[in-house]
Amino acid sequence: MATGNLIATTDFCVYYNIEYTFINSLQEAGLVQIKTVNETTYIPETELQNLERIIHLHHDLEINVAGIEAITHLLDRVAHMQDNIRSLRNRLRLYEDE
């Protein structure tokens, strides 16, 4: 398997000065996806933005994994509600234009 769009977990941990166990606990909580290729773990590029946000929550606000899990769940719910509001506004515009 090609590792072109993957970042080695060890490199990521060194760059952000975090422990591998933190990344592992995030994976166990279902907050990030990690791929394993030839017994080496990698982080997909698509996970970087989410993972960087989580690291900032952990370091800057000193929030533990359980707190991050709750915050992530609430942010996902807010995003879903915003999508629903946008959809409802678009449907309402159809009736207002008549």
Q: Residues of the chain with pLDDT > 70: what percent?
A: 94
Report pTM: 0.77
The rounded distance, in Å, linking the Cα atoms of 13 and 33 is 15
- The tokens describing 7, both together, are 């970042």
pLDDT tens per residue, range 13-35: 999 999 999 999 999 999 999 99
Q: pLDDT value at position 95?
A: 83
For residues 61 and 5, give the distance between their C-alpha atoms in angstroms, rounded to a whole number: 30
Give the largest CA-CA distance in the chain: 61
In the predicted model, what is the mean pLDDT of the chain? 91
Domains and CATH numbers, the chain: 6-96 (1.10.1660.10)
